[in-house]
Amino acid sequence: MNSPALMQHSTLSVADAIASRRSIRAFLPTPVSREAISAILELAARAPSGSNTQPWRVYVLSGSSKNLLSEKILAAHNDPVQLAEQTHEYEYYPRKWISPYVERRRKVGWDLYGLLGLTREDKAGMHAQHGRNYAFFDAPVGLIFAIDRVLEMGSWLDYGMFLQNVMLAARGMGLDTCPQAAFTPFHRIIAAHLEMPENEMLVCGMSLGYADQTRIENTLVTERAKVAEFTTFLD
Ligand SMILES: Cc1cc2nc3c(=O)[nH]c(=O)nc-3n(C[C@H](O)[C@H](O)[C@H](O)COP(=O)(O)O)c2cc1C
C-alpha cells in the first residue's frame, strides 16, 4: 500500500469522505490528470470481492472519446424513435414501484427538479435535464463500468463496493462524482463506441471531476431514513 500513486491521497477521514460524498450534477472544466484517475482506481481496487475475483472493468473517457460518446447518446436520447428502441440489459430499478421506494424516488426527483425550477408540466425541461447525464454533467472524465457476463449476482455486490470506493477515493483527492444508471438503456451505443468485447456487459457510468459549487443543482441534499427505521437490534 505504499505505491507512489496512493501517496497523492489526502488524509480526509473515512467519515468525512463518506459524509461529503454527494451526487454532483454540474462540474467545472478543470481537468483531472491520468495519474490522479489511476490513483483513485488503484485505491478503489482494494475493495473486497468474493474469492478475490475483482469483477470490475473500467473505461476512462476524456477529450474527444468522451465528447463523441456523449454526442452519440444524446442523438438517440433526443430522437423519439431511437429512444423507444433502447432496451435494458438488466433491470436496475424494480419493475413494480411500491412504498416506501416510490415515495423516496419521487421526493429526490422533485427536489432536484424543484431546485432547477422545473415543473411537472415541463416535459421538455425534464428531458433536457435528464440528457445532462449523457454529457457527464460537463465533467472532464466519464467512467464506464463493465462486468463479465459469466459473473453472477454476488459479483454485482462486489462491484457496488468498488464503485463506492471510487467515489470515496475521489473525495480523498478533492474530486466529486455522480454514479449513473442513466447510461444503461444505451448499452449498444456504448459497447460499439468502446469496442467492448461480447463477454462484457455495461454496469453503469460515472461522472468524475471538480464540482461547480455555484450551480443550484449541487445544493441538493438528500434525506436518509433513521437507523431505527431499517435496523433491528437483537440482544
Ligand atoms: C448505481 C447508481 C446509479 C445512479 N444513477 C443516477 C443517474 O443516472 N443520474 C443521476 O443524476 N443520479 C443517479 N444516481 C444518484 C442517486 O440519485 C443518488 O445517489 C441518491 O439520490 C442519493 O443522493 P446522494 O448521492 O447525493 O447522496 C445513481 C446512484 C447510484 C448509486
Q: Is residue 140 part of a domain?
A: yes
Q: Is residue 42 part of a domain?
A: yes
Over range 49-59, report the average pLDDT: 98
Closest atom of ligand 1 relative to the 132 alpha carbon: 11
> CA-CA distance, 188 to 196, in Å (whole number)?
10
CATH number at residue 56: 3.40.109.10
Over range 190-196, report the average pLDDT: 98
Ligand 1, pocket residues at CB < 6 Å = 22-23, 25, 108, 133, 178-182, 204, 222
Q: Which residue's C-alpha cell is 454540474?
A: 26
Q: What is the grid cell recorded at 133?
A: 447525464
Amino acid letter for position 65: S
> CA-CA distance, 26 to 137, in Å (whole number)?
5
Closest atom of ligand 1 relative to the 22 alpha carbon: 26
- Best residue among 22, 23, 86, 88 to mutate for probing ligand 1's pocket (most ligand atoms within 8 Å of CB) is 23
Query: Taking CA 73 as the corner, what is the angle to CA 68 and CA 76, rounded to the nearest 5 degrees?
Result: 130
Q: Is residue 235 part of a domain?
A: no
Q: For residue 91, what is the enclosing H or E element?
A: none
Residue 9: which pLDDT band, with cuts at 50, 70 and 90?
A: low
pLDDT at 180 over 70: yes
Convert the pLDDT of each residue in 151-165 to its tens digit. Answer: 999 999 999 999 999
Q: Is residue 96 part of a domain?
A: no
Q: What is the pTM of this model?
A: 0.96
> CA-CA distance, 174 to 70, in Å (whole number)?
25
Q: Which residue CA neighbors atom 19 of ligand 1 most closely? A: 23
Q: How many structural domains comprise the chain?
A: 1
The answer to whether the CB of 137 falls within 8 A of the CB of 180 is no
Over range 181-194, report the average pLDDT: 98
CA of 43 to the centre of ligand 1 (A): 22
